[in-house]
A and B are shown apart, each in its own frame.
Chain A
Amino acid sequence: MTEGDSNQIKHETTIFAEPIFEVGGFTITNSLLNSWLAVIIIILFLVAASRKIKKVPRGVQNIFEFLLESALDFADSITRDRKKTIKLLPICLTLFLFILVNNYLGLLPFIGSIGFVESAHGENVFIPMFRGGTADLNTTLALALFSVAAIHIFGVFAVGFWNYINRFINIKAFLEIPKKFKEDKNIVLVNPIKSFVSIIEIIGEAAKVASLSLRLFGNIFAGEVLIASIMAIFAFFTPIPFMFLEIIVGLVQALVFSILVLVFMSMSTSAEEH
Chain B
Amino acid sequence: MEELIKTFHIDYKILIAQVVNFTIVLFVLYKFAYGPLLKAMNDRTKKIEKGLKDAEEVGKKLQETEDREKEVLTNAKREAQSIIESAEKTALKNKEDLLEEAKKKSEEIVDNTRKQLEEEKKKMLSEIKSEVADLVVAATGKVIDEKMDDKKDKEIIERSIKS
Contacts and interface: CB of A to CB of B under 8 A. Distances in A.
A217 B11 CA distance: 16
Give the contact-size bracket for chain B: 20 to 34
A138 B9 contact: yes
A90 B34 contact: yes
Query: What is the interface of chain B mostly: helix, strand, loop, or mixed?
Result: helix
B12 to A, nearest CB: 9
| Residue among A54, A55, A94, A95 with the highest chain B CB neighbour number at 10 A | A94
Interface in A134-172: 136-139, 141-143, 145-146
The secondary structure that dominates the A interface is helix
A49 B142 CA distance: 160
A56 B47 CA distance: 11
Interface residues of A, number: 47
B21 A39 contact: yes
Given A93-B29, A146-B19, A53 B8 contact: no
A260 B22 CA distance: 17
B3 to A, nearest CB: 12
A42 B28 contact: yes
Interface in A22-59: 26-27, 29, 31-32, 35-36, 38-39, 42-43, 46-47, 49-50, 53-57
17 contacts: A26-B17, A27-B11, A27-B14, A43-B25, A50-B33, A56-B44, A64-B33, A64-B37, A65-B41, A90-B30, A91-B26, A98-B22, A141-B10, A142-B16, A142-B22, A143-B18, A145-B19
Interface of A: 15-17, 26-27, 29, 31-32, 35-36, 38-39, 42-43, 46-47, 49-50, 53-57, 61, 64-65, 68-69, 86, 89-91, 93-95, 97-98, 133, 136-139, 141-143, 145-146
